Structure 1
Amino acid sequence: MKLFKQAHVLTPESIGIKDVLVSGSRIVAIDDNIDIKATHGLEVVDCTGKYLVPGFVDSLVHISGGGGEGGFTTRTPQMPFADAVKGGVTSLIGVLGTDAITRSLEDLLAKAKALKSNGLSVYCHTGNYHYPVVTITGSVEKDIMLIDEFIGVGEIAIADHRGSQLSWQELARIAAQARVGGMLAGKGGKVSIHVGDGKDGLNILHQVAKYSDIALAQFYPTHINRTESVLKQGFALAKAGGFIDFTTSTTEQILADGEVAAPLALKQALDHGVAVGQITMSSDGNASLPVFDKQGKLIDLQIGQVTSLHQAFVDAVKEHDVEISSALKTITLNPARILGLAHKGQLAKGCDADIAILDCKTLAVEQVYAMGQCLMNGEDDIKPTYFNV
């Protein structure tokens, strides 16, 4: 058992100074003062002057690596366990991107299991950018129903020269398969959508909603801060009932080419009347961050960082005056709710004991607990792993 004493608790809503009691992997009580006798196995954690917040939920990470758009030397490495923990991330969703030939779903699943063995909660999407959808079992429904870690499909690429240029009918079919698999398995069954900077933007999502029985909320489009044009389309999509996700990993060159930094995109979305519950941020960790010229030739490539998720949260609060609970929801409660992870992303009785302890002034991550187990007690004290998992 662990007793977190006198923390400023953000559930992510602020509920003031509280004690939080954890037994095993779950939160069992939150109260003004929990006074229990010290017994064998009880650990007391003094949280005076600290924020106690839900562990972050990163809805898009290339845990087994990605990239390759510039040839074999541009393949990005796997995500190290420590990268997630340093950034306060306790739950994440692994995906494939452009490459589903040398990057297999089997390898993605193996990496997910390795990270889970070290204490993180890890889920995956079947498929990748392309259509027909690559699967392990031969069907989207079977992958979602029969493989515990698989909760949806993606990233399916739209408005991107690297995608399959699929029709709205094909996308509707993918969404229907994901939805049925999710319903039968009790999972989210969402379709993660990679949005490029192509001329069609988000039009195909509206076409599916207009001409089929699939709702906009079945899709989870990311990279909505890619350009000002896509961002405005994202505002309209969210107001129509869809969800939008902003990517926190970026580079100075990508920003100079027109991307809107995720914290600023969040501020603008809220100012434009988008409900905070429709907005999330994700890191796109260990993805390639490519820059192409007008002929589609790769001219620069860097690697996405999972720790950018925490930094975007800090920047939203410190630089753009986004209310702290609203900013926190975009990386905790909102992605968990959208993906159907009922016990994640919030601090409440019965929820998983995924906890990050932050400095109240700087918002720096100081300690991280996942399923009640301490994974980090200061940046220099991270739970050891084998072979830099």
Structure 2
Amino acid sequence: MSAIKLFKNAHIVSPTDLGLMDLLVAGNQIAALGSGFEAGSSNLPIEVIDASHCYLVPGFVDSLVHFIGGGGEGGFASRTPEMQLTDATLGGVTTAIGVLGTDATTRTLTNLLAKAHALETEGISTYCHTGSYEIPCRTLMGNITDDLILIDKFIGVGEIAISDFRSSQPTLDEIRKVAAAAKVGGILSGKAGVVSVHVGSGESLLQPLWQAVEGTELKLSQFYPTHINRNEAVFQAGIELAKAGAVIDFTTSTTSYDLQHGEVAAAAALARALEAGVPAMNLTLSSDGNASLPVYNDHGELIGLEVGKVQTLYQVARQAVLEYKVPLSDAITAITAAPAAVLGLKHKGRIAAGMDADLVLLNKTDLTIRDVFAKGRQLVKDGKALVKGTFEK
């Protein structure tokens, strides 16, 4: 494959709708956008890609994935499996952020970091958060600030848990200290220093975040709460937080049990939040890929476990457009520009000269994924994986 690629006649949604254009990729970056580009008689090896009848959109950014799986609610045998490369690429995900969850004992930051490097070697861009559900946070270098400054792949903290029986029941002072350390680490390393927050269904909802910033120099925008579609009460609290300036995240992996017991479907949550006046850049979707999804009976007893899937990220964005009439640009924003911005990934999430050449071609007829490119390299063609992970068959 040539390092120089010319996309012809693409309908570019950057995620702003730019209409029909040509796009030139050189190496791992977007070189230029315009009209009438031709390969000509140049001796340079240029690969021409016919993008007619397709939308060309940025590669998707999944802000919450359990790269190495997570501890299951059913004991050791229910530990979920690791993510594989095509779990992401077949769903258009070219950038993913790895986290720990409840289990920071048998799942470790060193293992998470190693898996992030493995996935990067195989073809996509990866980053991680230090810490886990619990506070005080487990770190590699001894504290949050050092982790963010000294470890390139660490861009934030989390997902710390609030309003959940699985959390460490942190005090306001503990939450503030985590946010302050992340902020300083971010400033000194040029990273966002965001605090990813797992929100449970407890009665306190999002009050710990409001209270944490009250009377301090902290801002709501530094907290990035996820699972905001967990139930109607959490959803409404999230809308209030987003209108005050925070970016909120809806989880796309789910079970029929969760939906039957009050979870707001992620596609519906996105549509409702936009209708409520929340700016598109304050709304994101994430997959919670490879997380444990417990299923209970009517007596609250565990009867099964399902596993979160990265590919639900685009499935839900597509559903939001086709079923809930969310504008395509807004749905794409929720999985590209918005997560890239809150995570401080300046070269991701948009189609423009100088940005990373992470690109997805969508068939206009049904919005299915045709081709996927990560850092200029084609990983998926006609919906099939051209590149697989090291241990994928």
TM-score range, shorter chain: over 0.9
Are 2:85 and 2:388, in contact at CA under 8 Å, matched by a contact in 1? no
Q: Distance in 2 between matches of 1:42 and 1:26?
A: 15
Aligned to 2:236: 232
Aligned to 1:30: 33
Q: Distance in 2 between matches of 1:21 and 1:255?
A: 43
- The CA deviation string for residues 187-238 of structure 1, in whole angstroms up to 9 with x for no partner, is 1100000000011100000001113221000100000000000000000000
1:18 matched to 2:24? The reply is no
Aligned to 2:344: 340
Aligned to 1:41: 45
Q: Distance in 2 between matches of 1:260 and 1:81?
A: 29
* Residues 295 and 170 of structure 1: CA distance in aligned 2, closer, same or farther (over 3 Å): farther
* Secondary structure of the corresponding residue to residue 211 of structure 1: coil
Aligned to 1:377: 381
Q: Distance in 1 between matches of 2:233 and 2:338?
A: 24
How far has the Cα of 1:41 moved from its partner? 2.1
Are 1:2 and 1:43, in contact at CA under 8 Å, matched by a contact in 2? yes
How far has the Cα of 1:105 moved from its partner? 0.4
1:367 matched to 2:367? The reply is no
Q: How does 1:206-217 map to 2 (within 5 A)?
A: 206-217=210-221
User: Which ranges of structure 1 fall in alignment gaps of 5 or more residues?
Assistant: none
Q: Distance in 2 between matches of 1:292 and 1:274?
A: 33
Aligned to 1:241: 245
Q: Distance in 2 between matches of 1:124 and 1:295?
A: 37
1:170 to 165, 174, 177: 174
Q: Distance in 2 between matches of 1:380 and 1:89?
A: 14
How far has the Cα of 1:297 moved from its partner? 5.1
Q: Distance in 2 between matches of 1:43 and 1:382?
A: 16
Are 2:141 and 2:147, in contact at CA under 8 Å, matched by a contact in 1? yes
2:151 to 147, 153, 160: 147
* Residues 164 and 294 of structure 1: CA distance in aligned 2, closer, same or farther (over 3 Å): farther
- TM-score normalised according to structure 2 size: 0.97
Runs of 4+ in structure 1 deviating by more than 3 angstroms, as ranges, are: 291-300
Q: How does 1:115-134 map to 2 (within 5 A)?
A: 115-134=119-138
1:320 matched to 2:324? The reply is yes
Residue type of the alignment partner of 1:11: S
Q: Distance in 2 between matches of 1:84 and 1:133?
A: 28
Q: Distance in 2 between matches of 1:175 and 1:297?
A: 36
- TM-score normalised according to structure 1 size: 0.98
User: Which ranges of structure 2 fall in alignment gaps of 5 or more residues?
Assistant: none
Are 2:290 and 2:308, in contact at CA under 8 Å, matched by a contact in 1? yes
- % identity of equivalent residues: 51
* Secondary structure of the corresponding residue to residue 20 of structure 1: strand
Q: Distance in 2 between matches of 1:383 and 1:181?
A: 36
1:57 matched to 2:61? The reply is yes
Aligned to 2:284: 280
Are 1:225 and 1:231, in contact at CA under 8 Å, matched by a contact in 2? yes
How far has the Cα of 1:70 moved from its partner? 1.3
Q: Distance in 1 between matches of 2:36 and 2:77?
A: 56
1:260 matched to 2:264? The reply is yes
Q: Distance in 2 between matches of 1:99 and 1:93?
A: 17
* Secondary structure of the corresponding residue to residue 384 of structure 2: coil
Tell me the C-alpha RMSD between the 2 structures: 1.4
The count of residues paired between Structure 1 and Structure 2 equals 389
1:113 matched to 2:155? The reply is no
How far has the Cα of 1:275 moved from its partner? 1.2
How far has the Cα of 1:179 moved from its partner? 0.7
Aligned to 1:218: 222
Aligned to 1:184: 188
* Secondary structure of the corresponding residue to residue 317 of structure 2: helix
1:301 matched to 2:305? The reply is yes
* Residues 299 and 171 of structure 1: CA distance in aligned 2, closer, same or farther (over 3 Å): farther
Are 1:82 and 1:382, in contact at CA under 8 Å, matched by a contact in 2? no
- The CA deviation string for residues 329-373 of structure 1, in whole angstroms up to 9 with x for no partner, is 000000000100001000001000000011011111111100101
Q: Distance in 1 between matches of 2:235 and 2:334?
A: 16
Q: Distance in 2 between matches of 1:43 and 1:276?
A: 35
